[in-house]
Every structure is written in C-alpha cells, then in structure tokens.
Chains A and B, each alone.
Chain A
Amino acid sequence: MTFAHPWLLLGLLAALIPLVVHLFDRRRPRVVPFGALMFVLRSQKRTASRLKLKRLLLYVLRTLLFLAVPLAAAMPSCVDEAKAQAAQGAAATAVVVDVSLVLRFRADGTPLFDEARRQAKDAIAQLRTDEPVTVLPCPSSAAPLAPGFDKVRALASVDELLPTASPADLNRCLDAAARALDDSPQPNRRLVVVSPFTSSSLRLEVPAPTIRGPQGTPLKPQVVLRDVAAERALPNRAIVDVKADAAPQAGPKAWQFTVTVRNFSDEALSDVPLELRVGGVPVVKGFVDVGAHATAQKALTHRFQQAGLTRVTAALPADGLADDDVRELLVPVPKDARLLVVDGAPSPNKYKDEAYFVVSALSAAGSPVTPVLRDTEAAWREDFATYDAVALLNVEAPPDEVAARLEKFVAAGGGLLLAMGDRVDPDVWNRRARGLLPRPFRVVKTAVEPSAPEAQTQAARVDTLSSSHPVLAPFSGEAREGLLALRVYRYALFESTGAADDVLASLNDGAPLLVAQRKGKGRVMAFATSLDRDWSDAPVRTAFLPLVQRSAAWLTASLDEREAAKGRVGDTLSLTVPDGKQVGAVDAPSGQPVPVRAGPGAVAVGPLPEPGLYAVEDTGGKPLPELAFAVALDPLASDTERHPAQSVRAWFGEDVVLSQGGGSGGTEAPVWTWLLVVAVLAFFFEGVLLRS
C-alpha cells in the first residue's frame, strides 16, 4: 500500500471521535416522575436489542466515515509487487527511467517526470536489502553502472535526474540495462521500466531485451512495467519543422515560412492559431487544421524591415507539452544590394548575350542583389558609388578615366566581377586597368573549338575547388559535381603570382578558373572564361545559378551576414569561425554552457541540450551575434502516441512481466476512489439510521 499524501493519514485520529463522544458524553438527562413507567420499561426492554444494534451500527458507520475520508485524501494504492518479487526471489534490478521530452508533458498540471521520479524511487524502495540495483536514465550517453546494494545512492541518482529535450530510445536503453545486469552474480535479474511507453521510444518490431543465462543462452529477464501516464492518452500537437525561404514575389526582404504542424492525438484539430513573431513581437497570425495523427503545413509570409540575422519564432498555443509548440530560427535577411551589369557585347540574340544569363540568375528567387543592366557607354556614365558591385562581362578594357573610378570604387568597398569574352583584350586590360585585376592577364588559351566534334572530351574541366571559400561553400558533397561537370573551351590565363590562396577553382591544366581577392575594402573576382556559351557551357550547368548568386553575394558583402547554422537537440554542431575570430563559449537558451571543442577554422559545439537560440562568445567574453544559431527539437521527441499496455506486455512476454503499473507501479489499484464511495455510503446510511 502506498500513499500519495501520507501526512494526511494523521486525519485517521478523527476515527476516535465517535469513541470519545461515546465515552465522555455524559449529558445529564432530565429527571421526570412518570406514572406509566411500566410501559416505558416494557418499550425499553422490547427495543433494547434493536437500539443496541442501531447504536453499534451508528458507531461503526461514523468510525468508518472518519476513517475513510482521511484515508481517501491520502490517496492510497495497492501494490502486489512485493508478493510477486517474493515469489521470484532476490533479483538484480535495473531501473530504466524515461527522461525524454515526453516526460515534460503536463497531465493535470503536473509533469509526467514527477510521476516517473516518484515511481522510480518507489520501485527502489520496494526492493529487498539483498537486491542490488542500478538506475539508467533514457536517453543517456553514459554507460550504466553495475547493480549495487547502495540504495541511498540509487535514490539520490533518481533525484538528480532531469527531463531532457531528446527522444528516448528505450530499445537501446533496455539492451544497455540488460548488459549491466549480465555483470551481476544474482541468479534473477529484473528490469523495471518507468516510462509512458510512446510508440516512438519503443519499437516493438525488434526483439525484446534478453540477459545472458548460466550457459550464455539468452534469457528473458523479469520485467516490471510502470506506466507513468496511467494508461491515459497524451494528446499533443507540435511544430515539427519550419522552412524559411526568400519570397521575392512578395517584395523585397520578404520571406515565406512554411510551418509543419503534427497532431499526435486521436482528435482532429481545427482552427489552431499559429503565430509568427519577429524579435518577440507577433507579426503574422494564421490558423491551421490538422487531422488526427496527421500533419499539416501552413505558409506564412513576412516582409522584414531590416537586414541582418533576425530571430523568428513560430508558435502554437501551449498544450500539455509546451516545449514543442514553439520553434525558434535565425533568418539571414539580406541587405538591398545593387549590382551594375555592364554588357560589353550586347546581342539581339539573348542566348548569345552573357548578360542575359547573368541577369536572369540574379533575378531568380533568393538572389542577394538587384541587377541593373547597362551597355558600356551608359555604364561609364553611371555613378558607381550608387552600386554595391559592378560586373564587367566581355568588356573591352575600360577607358583610363573609368578604370580610375572603378579602382576608387573598389578601394572604397565595392565589388568587381570580370568575365571573359571575345571582346576582352588581355594586353589592353593589363595596360589600362592593371590595378583592377586580381592577377595580370597573360593570353587567351583555346582548349578546343566549341564547334569541334571532340569539344566535350577535349574541353578543359574543373579540377580543384576551394570549398572553404564562402562562394564555393555550397559546392560540397554531391553539389560539387555541378561545378566539376563544367566544360571550358577557351579561357584566359593569368600571370602566376606565386601565391595560390586567391584561386577558388582551377582547371585540369592547373590554370585558375576563378580568382578572388580583396583590394582595399573591396573585392575583385575574375572568371577566366565567358559567362555565356561562347567559351564554356557554364550557363547550362546547374551550378551556374548558385555560383553567380554566391559570387554576387560575396562581392556585395552579403555573405558576411552568413547563413545561420542549424542544429537539432542532441547533435554536435560544427560552427565555422570567421578569420580573426575565436569562439570562447557557447550558452544554451537556459544559460547552460555547452561543450565546445576547437578545430581548424571551426568549432564543434555539443551535444546540444535544448531547443532555442544559442549565444556564442569569443575568448574575451564578447558576444559574437553573427555566430548565434538556432537548435530545433527532434520531431520524434514530440511523438506522444502510446503503445497499448497489452502490446507492451506481450512484447516483453506475459510470462516475465511481473506486474503492470497503473498509477504508482506494480499492480496498483486506486483504492482511494473506493474509500470515497465507502465514506459516502457510510454518511448516507448513518442518516438513514438516524431517521429510522
């Protein structure tokens, strides 16, 4: 028998009230001489036995009432676990305690974790002194300890448990617990599982855990199931994903947030309010309908007012599991950059005009710049200071005066992109605008004529890529193939400077294809071939659009507002550290420091303990807001759908499951409800007896 509120048992003293009243209530009766006493005597004699029984019944009923009420208030429940354990003999016990996100679910205002902790301690307290025990939180990266006889330590370890924000893998934890039990010399082994037994945490399609028998044969351990949810459903809805995409169709700095909401309950949800907050202020609201056990998406669009890394929050009204009703993310809102595209060889056939391909790429969704197309005559009249970057495409070398203005523009922080073509004369460029070039031109080399039948095989290919450079950062892994497939028929050769750190991509003959340098406060990038189909097939390659957009972003310094890193709870995140910066510490949203391991050009942060925005500081404790990142929950952690109790029992094996917890472990029955019924019946019959 266990009690939820044992101190209320003091109320049992009230059961003495009827006895005390009976013993000490000596009210003086009225004394009346009465003529017909013989009839009083007869009546008293006649009713004496009945009255005696009635008084006894009243005493019993009142005592029962005073016993039942405080007993019910103490909320007792019966456990026959000791009986089961006694029948099985002493057993080494491993208590597996689910500490996953689902345990933060609040049922009746109390987190399930409180019940889990109580049941784990109850399970340990019920063990006999000759039964060793170990406690395993799940999930946990630490290896379980061998069972020991120090129950105080085991209870303390339960007290130290905290609910995590990760999903549980009960199968793995049970296997680990079974291995820990293998080390015990006790002949009997027992697994006590304290969990709500959600579908995502326990996979029933894999074999149940086994322990090693005397001859090494696998045996099923005894199992005690303690259902902390007391077989109740745990209805939950969660934001399982938020996808942020630029939405140029909705205007500058417009972004579309596609929020995925999952309903983990048996009832369909309609008109669930969904809110988007920027910097903590609600900016967009919508409603979403989600069927039972279904997923729905809702797109919300917002135009930002300011550029930079912006904190965005998607939120649903809080339910039983409030942690997954909010999703934080950081959005790199680009600044309004303008790029002057100077078309050195305008053509009525747009497919033969490199400016067409470049402007198209820069006009596509997600472009960091707004292209402005000019021919050379018009371009030379422009005030370059009104642009963030200038792209000279197949332009004959600019006049001296223009070259000087361009040099001044670059030195002041502007960006300059050079792309080759038939009109480019390397000698003239070297003579007029040497200061603009990352490297002096040498000659133009033709690998093969584009019209030659063997053009595809004899064309130059991209051989090396510097994916550490922000321009080529997306071209890693499979995306690298997009650039490697590029075929270059003709290209300009640069003079060698001895240093190769400015070469982003090289061809198979070692000639630089893409050269980028910083000049003063500005940047210069040279593309050794044309950006139309005259010298290469770049425009028809999948890498063309991201390459052009990334190049424009780098030239306009938009990439400095780097894309925020993303991570999931439990992951270890690799954080790229800009040159000249050093990461000293990373703090979780709750302020908890997160382990940081330094590496070349990057730091490994993790494991990430909770969702939300993480703050990064340098070694001097100065905040590095540009390195802040958002961490999301694993959608599996939000899955509160539960296995039927019978399925779980069957999976472990009906023959080895000693008992199944309803409310407080073992075969617990909520006795207090029956006690309340008894109290009400006692009160009713006491009234009936008094009136009879």
Chain B
Amino acid sequence: MALVDATMLARLSGVRLRARAVVEGVLSGLHKSPHQGQSVEFSEHKEYAPGDELRHLDWKAYGKLDRFYVKRFEHETNLKAVLVVDASGSMAYGTAGLSKLDVAKVLAGALSHLLIRQQDAAGLALVAQGRLAELPPRATPSHLNHVLGALETATAAGPTDLSHVADALAERLARRSLVCVFSDFFDEHEGALQRLLSLRARRHDVAVFHLVDPAELEFPFDDPTRFLSMEDERNVEVNPREIRESYLEEFHRFLDETKAACGAADVDYERVRTDEPLDAVLLRFLARRGGGRA
C-alpha cells in the first residue's frame, strides 16, 4: 500500500492533484482487497415493456426464449452521497503541512472521485460563515469537475454552525443518502452535533470525519502565549504550562464525547489526524463500509 501522507500532499498544488493522489493510493490498496467489486452489476431480468431502453435488451435470452427481456443492473439503484465540508475559521488551523480544511477538501475530493467513478452520485455542501453552498448529487464525470472546483475555491472563515447544515440537509434529502461530514466540530451551538446525527434517524447513512490537528491534541506550547480565535475576535493570554493538563483533559473529553455520540447514533466515526496518510484514512473507511462500496 502506498500511503499518501500529509507532507507529500502539501507539496502538491490544488485539490484535484491531491485528491487524485489519494484516489490512486486508495485504488492501489483496493486491488489488493479480497472485496473488490464493480459499481455496475447485473441484478435480474425484466420482461420488456415499452419505454425500456433498447440497449439493455438481452439478445441471448431472446435467442433462447424468444421473448424480450431487459437486463436490470444494480447501478440503477445508485448511491446518492452528500459530502458536507465544514469551512469555518477553525478549519484553517494546521501545523502538519495541511490545514484541517485542506485535509477535508482532499478527503471529500477523493471520495467524490471514487463515488462518481462507480456511477454513484456525489454532491457537496460547503458550510462557511453560517451559509450553505450546495452542489446537488450527480453521477456524471463532469460533475466531478464541479465538485473539485467548488472545493478548490472554498476558504475557511466565520464560526462553525453545523446545526444549520443539519436542518437544511434534513429538509432537502428526500431519498436515503450517504452524508459524509468533514469537520472539527468546534461548534458551540447547543445540540449542533445531535441535530447533525439526527439525519441518521431519517434513514440517511451518516459518516463523520472528525479532523484534528496534532497541536490541538498535544498542546505543545510553553511560553506565555496570546491565543487568537480563528472564528471571531476572542483572544486569551495564558501560560500554556499552567493550563496544559486542564486543556488536554477538556479536549480529549470532547473527542470521546463526540465519538460516543456518533456510536450511540449508529453513525460511522472516523477521527482523522491531519498528519496521517489520507489514503489510509479512506481505505480504513471503505473497508469498514464493506468492500469498497461507499
């Protein structure tokens, strides 16, 4: 398996290249998987009826049975996926080469690449400054360009408001869909995560990619520091050595609670360190979801 780490990705310019590199890594990994599959598979025969596509007529069956049958393929039940990327100010934080937003873009781009490649529909929901910018799910190859283009232009700014996204998605996703959320979940609104996870109750398949920077995990600061908020005007001057223990306790509790909440809601949870190989993240995710089908 050729792992594509964040340092290498940081040297690549743009989401397209980075996503492609990750996809290649993922595909390289999938070939070695015993669960390799196809996105378009024969499912059953159906007697021809007017309106069916003639290109799907099974001429071999007509030769044997003298009746017209139409092949039905599984891809006709295409997955509809919405990739929700948090573009709040805190997502711009990054100490390992890529910011959390960069990692989210790469993961979202690579996943959309994989989905569209297997004829699934991939849409994008960018959440920035409380607004939702959407690309509705499509399975066409040209749509991939739109998705990647939207990811490319996304910048981090403003406060995190996942509850707004959850409400919008719940309203717009009529059909059962896969909702992949890429966020650090630094949302101070009451019950934001719960509202996002409530999509699962609406029979949507929800997967959470919890993005964490190593500096947030380890808090490696010593000298007196003035910390500035990346989402608003708040700042605080502290001696990091004095609060490190308390910070780490708070932060890990937050991580644990987020994971526990996801587990309780039957939501797939993936914690992503921004310094770890992203293809490995996707492979881990795909393997968990059964043989490469997203």
Does B186 lie at the interface of the complex (its beta carbon under 8 Å from any beta carbon of A)? yes
A29 at the interface (CB under 8 A from B): yes
Which B160-219 residues have C-beta < 8 A from chain A? 184, 186, 188, 213, 215-216
Is the pair B236, A41 in contact by a Cβ cutoff of 8 Å?
yes
Please, how many angstroms separate the alpha-carbon atoms of A47 and B244 in the complex?
10
Report B-chain residues with C-beta under 8 Å of the C-beta of A37.
Answer: 90, 227-230, 234-236
Instruction: Pick out which of these stretches binds chain A: B19-27, B40-48, B120-128, B247-255.
Output: B247-255
Determine if A42 is an interface residue (Cβ-Cβ < 8 Å): yes
How far is the CB of B210 from the nearest CB of chain A, in Å?
Answer: 13
> Is there an interface contact between A31 and B216, defined as CB atoms closer than 8 Å?
no
Q: Is A446 an interface residue (CB 8 A)?
A: no
Instruction: Report the Cα distance A39→B215, complex, angstroms.
Output: 13
Please measure, in the bound complex, the distance between the C-alpha atom of A37 and the C-alpha atom of B227, giving whole angstroms.
7
**Is the pair B247, A40 in contact by a Cβ cutoff of 8 Å?**
yes
Check if A83 is an interface residue, CB within 8 A of chain B. no
Which chain B residues lie closer than 8 Å to A33 at the CB level? 93, 227-230
Asked if B238 is at the interface (CB within 8 A of a chain A CB), the reply is yes
Does B246 interact with chain A (Cβ within 8 Å)?
yes
Contact status of A51 and B242, CB under 8 A, knowing A35-B186, A43-B247: yes
Instruction: Tell me whether A46 is interfacial, beta carbon within 8 Å.
Output: yes
- The DSSP consensus for interface residues of chain A is helix
Chain B residues with Cβ below 8 Å from A46 are 246, 250
Bound-state Cα–Cα, A46 to B245, Å:
11
Q: Is A34 an interface residue (CB 8 A)?
A: yes
Chain B residues with CB below 8 A from A44, complex form: 236, 238, 243
- 21 A-B pairs with CB atoms under 8 Å apart are A27-B224, A30-B225, A32-B221, A32-B225, A33-B229, A34-B93, A34-B227, A35-B230, A36-B184, A37-B90, A37-B236, A38-B186, A39-B254, A40-B238, A40-B243, A43-B238, A43-B249, A46-B246, A47-B242, A47-B246, A51-B243
Q: For the complex, what is the distance from the CA of A41 to the CA of B234, rounded to whole Å?
A: 10
In the complex, what's the smallest C-beta–C-beta distance from B6 to chain A, in angstroms?
Answer: 16
Residues of A within 8 A of B228 (CB): 31-34, 37
B108 smallest CB distance to A (angstroms): 19
| A318 shortest CB reach to chain B, Å | 60
Closest Cβ of chain B to A354, distance in Å, is: 114
Say which residue of B90, B100, B227 sits within 8 Å of A40 (CB atoms). B227
B64 CB, nearest partner CB in chain A, Å: 65
- Known contacts A39-B247, A43-B243; A32/B226 CB under 8 A: yes
Q: How far is the CB of B232 from the nearest CB of chain A, in Å? A: 9
Q: Are A32 and B254 within 8 A (Cβ)? A: no
B86-99 vs A: 1/0 string, CB under 8 Å?
00001111000000
Contact A35:B93 (CB < 8 A) given known A40-B247, A43-B247: yes
Residues in A whose Cβ lies below 8 Å from that of B250: 39, 42-43, 46
Q: Which of A31, A36, A43, A51 contacts B186 (CB 8 A)?
A: A36
Interface residues on B, range: 20 to 34
Q: Which of B90, B226, B237 touches A36 (beta carbons < 8 Å)?
A: B90
- Is B224 in contact with A30, judged by CB distance below 8 angstroms? yes
Docked pose: A40 CA to B225 CA in angstroms: 11
**Hey, which chain A residues are within 8 Å of B221, CB to CB?**
30, 32
Give CA–CA (A87, B224) in the complex, Å. Answer: 59
**Contact of A39 (CB < 8 Å), options: B213, B224, B251:** B251
Interface size on A, residues (CB 8 A): 20
Q: Which residue of B lies closest to A55 (CB)?
A: B242
B-side contacts of A31, CB under 8 Å: 225-226, 228
Closest to A27 in B: B224
Within 8 A of B (CB), among A21-73: 27, 29-44, 46-47, 51
Q: How far is the CB of A388 from chain B (nearest CB, A)?
A: 103
Closest partner residue, chain B, to A46 (CB atom): B246
Q: Which 6 A-B pairs have the closest CB atoms?
A: A35-B93, A43-B246, A35-B90, A43-B247, A29-B224, A43-B243
Is B53's CB within 8 Å of the partner chain A?
Answer: no
A685 and B225 CA atoms in complex are apart in Å by 26
Q: A29-B226, A33-B230, A43-B246 are in contact. List 5 more A-B contacts (CB 8 A).
A: A29-B224, A29-B225, A33-B229, A36-B90, A47-B243
The reply to whether A35 and B254 form a contact with Cβ atoms under 8 Å apart is: no
- Is B66 an interface residue when CB atoms closer than 8 A count as contact? no
Q: How distant is the Cα of A520 from the Cα of B195 in the complex, in angstroms?
A: 148
Q: Is B236's CB under 8 angstroms from A35's CB?
A: no
Q: How far is the CA of A36 from the CA of B160 in the complex (A)?
A: 12
A26 to chain B, nearest CB (A): 11
Interface-central residue, A27, A42, A43, by most chain B CB under 10 Å:
A43
Closest to B186 in A: A38
Q: List residues of chain B with CB within 8 A of the CB of A38.
A: 186, 188
By a CB distance below 8 angstroms, the chain B residues around A27 are 224
Task: Known contacts A35-B93, A47-B242, A51-B242; decide if A40 and B226 are in contact (CB<8 Å).
Answer: no
Q: How far is the CA of A36 from the CA of B252 in the complex (A)?
A: 12
What separation, in Å, do the CA atoms of A38 and B189 have in the docked complex? 12
Q: Mark B54-94, 1 if CB is under 8 A from A, else 0.
A: 00000000000000000000000000000000000011110
Q: How far is it, in angstroms, between the C-alpha of A30 and the C-alpha of B235 when the chains are bound? A: 12
A34 vs B221: C-alpha distance in the bound complex, in angstroms? 11
Determine the chain A residues whose CB is within 8 A of the CB of B236 once the complex forms.
37, 40-41, 44
- The residue on B at minimum CB distance from A37 is B229
Q: When the two chains form the complex, which single residue of A30, A34, A47 contacts B223, counting CB atoms closer than 8 Å?
A: A30
Nearest chain A CB to B131 CB, angstrom units: 20
In the bound assembly, the distance between CA atoms of A35 and B91 in angstroms comes to 7
Taken together as a complex, chains A and B put the C-alpha atoms of A31 and B243 apart, in Å, by: 17
Determine how close the nearest CB of chain B comes to the CB of A94; give it in whole angstroms.
65
Interface residues of A in 285-329 (CB under 8 A from B): none
The answer to whether residues A36 and B224 also contact, given A47-B242, A47-B243 and a CB cut-off of 8 A, is no
Nearest opposing residue in chain B for A31, CB measure: B226
Query: A458 → chain B, closest Cβ, in Å?
Result: 123
Chain B residues near A39: list those with CB within 8 A: 247, 250-251, 254
* CB pair A35 B213 closer than 8 Å: yes
Complex CA–CA separation, A31 to B229 (angstroms): 11
Contact between B246 and A35, CB atoms less than 8 A apart: no
Listed residue (A35, A36, A51) with the most chain B CB atoms within 10 angstroms of its CB: A35
- Distance between Cα atoms of A647 and B94 in the complex (Å): 84
Instruction: A38 to B159: give the CA distance in the assembly, Å.
Output: 12
A42–B253 Cα gap in the complex (Å)? 12
Q: Which of B223, B230, B247 is A29 in contact with, Cβ under 8 Å?
A: B223
Residues of B within 8 A of A30 (CB): 221, 223-226
Complex CA–CA separation, A37 to B188 (angstroms): 11
**A residues near B234, Cβ cutoff 8 Å:** 37, 41
- Chain A min CB distance to B192 (Å): 13
State the Cβ distance, A592 to closest chain B Cβ, in Å: 72
CA–CA, A44 and B225, complex, Å: 12
Tell me the bound Cα distance from A44 to B246 in angstroms. Answer: 8
What are the interface flags for A267-285 relative to B under an 8 Å C-beta threshold, 1 for contact and 0 otherwise? 0000000000000000000
Minimal beta-carbon separation of B256 from chain A (angstroms):
13
Q: Which residue of A lies closest to B240 (CB)?
A: A40
CA A411 to CA B91, docked complex, whole Å = 137
Could you say which residues of chain A place their CB within 8 Å of the CB of B90? 35-37
CA distance A93 to B280 in the complex (A): 98
| Complex partner residue of B184 from A32, A35, A40, A43, CB under 8 angstroms | A35
Q: What chain B residues lie within 8 Å of A32 (beta carbons)?
A: 221, 225-228
Of chain A, the residue at the smallest CB distance from B253 is A39
- Interfacial residues of chain A within 212-265, with CB under 8 A of chain B in the complex: none
Cα distance A42–B227 in the bound complex, in angstroms: 13
Minimum distance in angstroms from B92 CB to a CB of chain A? 8
CB of A564, distance to nearest CB on chain B (Å): 85
Q: Contact between A34 and B230 (Cβ–Cβ < 8 Å)?
A: yes
**Complex alpha-carbon distance, A33 and B227, angstroms:** 6
Q: Which residue of A lies closest to B251 (CB)?
A: A39
Report the minimum CB–CB distance from B102 to chain A (whole Å).
13
CA distance A47 to B243 in the complex (A): 7
Distance to closest chain B CB from A523 (angstroms)? 107
Of the candidates A36, A47, A51, the one whose C-beta lies within 8 Å of that of B251 is A36
Determine if B243 and A35 form an interchain contact, defined as CB atoms under 8 angstroms apart. no
In the assembled complex, the CB of A73 is this many whole angstroms from the nearest CB of chain B, namely 33
Question: Which chain B positions have C-beta within 8 A of A35?
Answer: 90-93, 100, 184, 186, 213, 216, 230
